[in-house]
Amino acid sequence: MRVLVRTVAGFGATLALLFFPACEEEAAGGAGSGGASAISGGRSASSGGAPAAVGGASSAGASNSDAGAYTGTGGRRPPPPSPDAGSGGQDADPPSTGGMTALPVGDPACDPTSACRHGGSCLDTDWSVCTCPSEPVPDCEDVRFRALGFLPDARLTELSDLSADGSVVVASSGVEGQWFRAVSWTLEDGLRVIPELSDTSTVSGISGDATVVVGYENEGGVDRPFRLQDGVLDYLGLDTSGSMTDANDVSSDGSTIVGSRSEGLAIRAFRWTEATGVMDLGELEADEHSYAFATNGDGSVVVGLIGVPPDYAGFRWDTDSGFQRLELPPGARNVENISVSADGRWIAFYAVRDGESLLFSWSDGELTELPRIPGNEGNQVFGISGDGSAIVGRSGLATLWRRGQPVRLVQELLEEAGVDLSAWELDGAQAISDDGRVVIGSGFCRNRAQAWIAWLD
> Which among 172, 71, 81 has a CA at the least distance from the CA of 426?
81
Task: Say which amino acid occupies 275.
Answer: A
Q: How far apart are CA 54 and CA 52, in angstroms?
A: 7
- Cα dist from 123 to 24, 127, 165, 275, whole Å: 15, 8, 21, 45
Enumerate the domain spans of the chain: 15-81+104-456
Q: What is the predicted pLDDT for the residue at 119?
A: 46
pLDDT tens per residue across all 457 residues of the chain: 544 433 333 333 333 333 333 322 222 223 333 333 333 334 445 443 332 222 232 333 333 333 345 554 433 223 333 333 333 333 444 433 333 333 333 455 666 544 444 445 444 433 334 555 555 554 444 568 888 999 999 999 999 999 999 999 999 999 988 999 999 999 888 899 999 999 989 999 999 999 999 999 888 777 889 999 999 999 887 655 557 788 999 999 999 999 998 888 889 999 999 999 999 998 889 899 999 999 999 999 999 999 998 899 999 999 999 999 999 999 999 999 999 999 999 999 999 999 899 999 999 999 999 999 987 888 999 999 999 999 999 999 999 999 999 999 999 998 888 788 888 999 999 999 999 999 999 999 988 899 999 987 7
Q: What is the predicted pLDDT for the residue at 177?
A: 87
For 4-16, give one letter per residue: b (16+ CB within 10 A) or e: bbbbbbebbbbbb
φ/ψ of 416, rounded to 5, equals -65, -25
Does residue 31 sit in helix, strand or coil?
coil
Task: Say which amino acid occupies 359.
Answer: L
Are 29 and 448 spatial neighbours (Cβ–Cβ below 8 Å)? Answer: no
Q: What is the predicted pLDDT for the residue at 132?
A: 53
Q: How far apart are CA 196 and CA 368, in angstroms?
A: 42
For 294-307, give one letter per residue: b (16+ CB within 10 A) or e: bbbbbbbbbbbbbb
Q: How many CA atoms lie within 13 A of 316 on its CB side?
A: 26
List of E strands, 68-143: 121-122, 130-131
In sequence order, the 6+-apart residues with CB closer than 8 A to the CB of 3 are: 41, 42, 43, 51, 159, 160, 161, 337, 339, 382, 383, 430, 431
Q: Which class is 15-81+104-456 in CATH?
A: mainly beta
